Structures are given as C-alpha cells and as structure tokens.
Amino acid sequence: MLSPNSLIYVAGHNGMVGSAIIRRLKLSGYSNILTKRRSELDLVDQKQVFSFLQHYKPDYIVSAAAKVGGILANNTYRAEFIYENLVIEANLIHGAWLAGVKDLLFLGSSCIYPKFAPQPMPEECLLSGELEYTNEPYAIAKIAGIKLCESYNLQYGTNYLSVMPTNLYGTNDNFDLEKSHVLPAMLRKFHLGRCLMDGDRAAIRRDFDKNPVGNIDGSASDEELAALLDSYGVSLTCNGSSSVTLWGTGTPRREFLWSDDLADACVFIMEKVKFSDTYEAGSREVRNTHINIGTGEDISIRDLAETIMRITGYRGSLRFDASKPDGTPRKLQDVGKLTKLGWRHSVALEDGIARMYRDYCSA
C-alpha cells in the first residue's frame, strides 16, 4: 500500500498510461517517483532490470510498460507483441520479488477476454473461450501477467494487483496511422480528411512533420503525401470532396475511457485495495482477482466515427471496408467489482474527444 514517502517506480512513464499515472500521483502529493528512459533501462533485458530493482528497491512498482498497438499492428507484429510483453512483465514481477518489493500494480487490457464473452464482460469469464485472433499474442501475454501476479501473491504473500483497462484515449496518445488504436487513428484521419477537403496543404504538412509515417514527413511532395493518405483510406473524391474509409463494417461496439480517469482509478487502487479484497474470503480456488477499469458504457464504431467527424469538423463522406476484419463484435467490461470498491469514471466520451482534439491541434 502507498504511504506519503513511498518510492514509486513507474515503468512506461513516457506512454499515455504511465504519464497519466505520474500526473495523478503528483496531484495526490506523491513526489518520490522513479522513472528511467529506455536508453537507460531496457525492460527486455533481465540482467538490467534485476540489477536496477536491487539497487533502488522501490516501495511500489507500476508496470505500465508494454508494446501496444491497434488491430493492424497486433496482427502484423505477432511475434514482437507476445515476446516483448511476456519478457517485460516477467522481468518486472520476478525482479520485484527478488528485490523484496511487496507492492506492484500490473496493467493489462480488456483483450484478455474471449471473443464471444458475455456482455458486459465480468472478470470471471477469463479463459472461458477462444480469444480474438488478431490480438491473441498480446492477450496471452497479458493473461500470463495476471497469473504471475496471482501466483506470487498466493505463494509469497506479495500484494501484486492486476487491473484491466478498457480501450483508452487521451493526452500523449499515439497517432501513428499504422500502430495507433482505433480512436486516435480515426481522429487523425478525419482531421487530415478535413484539411484535404479544404485544400489546406500547409496543415497536412504540419501534421506529417508532427507525426511522420516511416520516412515521409511534411517535406514530401504533394504526390507522395496524397498517395500515402490514400493508402490509409483518406482521399479526394471526383467532386472535390474527401472520403475516409475505415476497416470493417462499423457495427462492433467498444468502450472508451479517458486516460486520466484510468490514472485516477489506478491511484485509488494503489491507496485503498489489497489482494485479499479482490476475491471472496475462504475461497478454495483463488482466481480472476484482476479488476476491470472502464465506464460500463459502449458505442458502435460507426457512431464513434460520426462523433469524431462532428468534433473535427469533417464534412466529407464516410465509408467502411467490410473486407477488412471487425475484431471482437463487442467489448464492454463489467465494472461492478471496481464500483463496489468505491470508484467511478468522471469524463464523458464526447468531452474527452473534444479535449483530445484541442490538444492535438495545438501540439
């Protein structure tokens, strides 16, 4: 459990989740926060991780470091997603135990649940069915992290808690057109579609200077930029308007949580929750001790797209490519366990997207 002077190591502090958790910790008065850049500490290197944890012996570890991405990245880089995530979490969790660290928070993902899980998805449905194929390697790695935490707690008496955030978005998100998650990818596509329709080439160049794709930035020719946009489904139509094409049918439903709401939930759990609070006392078999973090509300991909179109001012056409995969039909988490513990989200989806777009445009 946290105390005012706890030394807190946040792994993955530069990412959207890690940076949000640091902001929330500082807001709560925790100033003894330890971070390391990847150039200083490679979390895939077991020797480096064990040596680092033995040296600093933090009071609390937040394991927010992971290789992450959207459906395209998950399906393309399957080996990297399973290997890197397995190794990072194993190094941190086992290294924590070796260093005598009693408290740790492991962050997973809602993709751990079966493709056709009951909706909303309770913690108890873990390992009850087949995973969604496109993110199976990542999901298996995260399931292993949950079981590592449970096993160390049961065998060694540690307090290693696992939380499963729903789909996240917010400050410091990843807007890479190939590797980002659905919401930031959509937001950028509709922003570029609006710029294209308005003939604002300077804005398109500024966008690619901020977020290059491969070796293509704002210095590329008009033809190169147009071809790249078209390859990601953003193009001019014959009547001078623009069109944005998204993968799938638009019918899947997803739940989205503002990243600072997640951080608030994480700090709440770090301060108030013990491993023994995550399962029924006297249980003969202790499992499914992880805690879902979400809003308990979802939206269709089509409705999400139309919301982002409205916020970005995009007035072109919207198309869906049904030949591309939809992923899991619905992913809504049951947040009853967390609600019972005393936490609820505060940022509404449309308000969060509007804030995110203002930040994106002003960056």
What is the set of active-site residues?
138
In 3-state terms the chain splits into helix, strand, coil percentages (rounded to 5) of 45, 15, 40
Instruction: Let me know: does 316 contact 237? Beta carbons within 8 Å.
Output: yes
103 within 8 A of 149, measured Cβ to Cβ: no
Can you spell out the DSSP letters for 253-295? EE-EEEHHHHHHHHHHHHHH--GGGGS-TT-SS-----EEES-
126: its two tokens: 């873990």
238: left (phi over 0), alpha (psi -120 to 50) or beta: alpha
Classify residue 167 as left (phi > 0), alpha (psi -120 to 50) or beta. beta
Query: Could you tell me the CA-to-CA distances from 25 to 3, 90, 96, 235 in Å, in that order?
Result: 12, 25, 20, 43
Burial of 90 (0-12, 13-18, 19+ CB in 10 A): middle
Question: Which secondary-structure segment (H or E) carries 218?
Answer: none
Is the CB of residue 148 less than 8 Å from the CB of residue 89? yes
* Distance in angstroms (rounded) separating the CA atoms of residues 5 and 227: 54
Q: Which residues contact 72 (CB under 8 A, 6 or more apart)?
A: 178, 179, 247
- Look at residue 192 and give its three-state secondary structure: helix
Q: How far apart are CA 33 and CA 36, in angstroms?
A: 10
Q: What is the number of alpha carbons within 13 Å of residue 286 lying toward its C-beta? A: 20
Kindly calculate the radius of gyration of the chain based on its CA atoms and give it in whole angstroms: 21
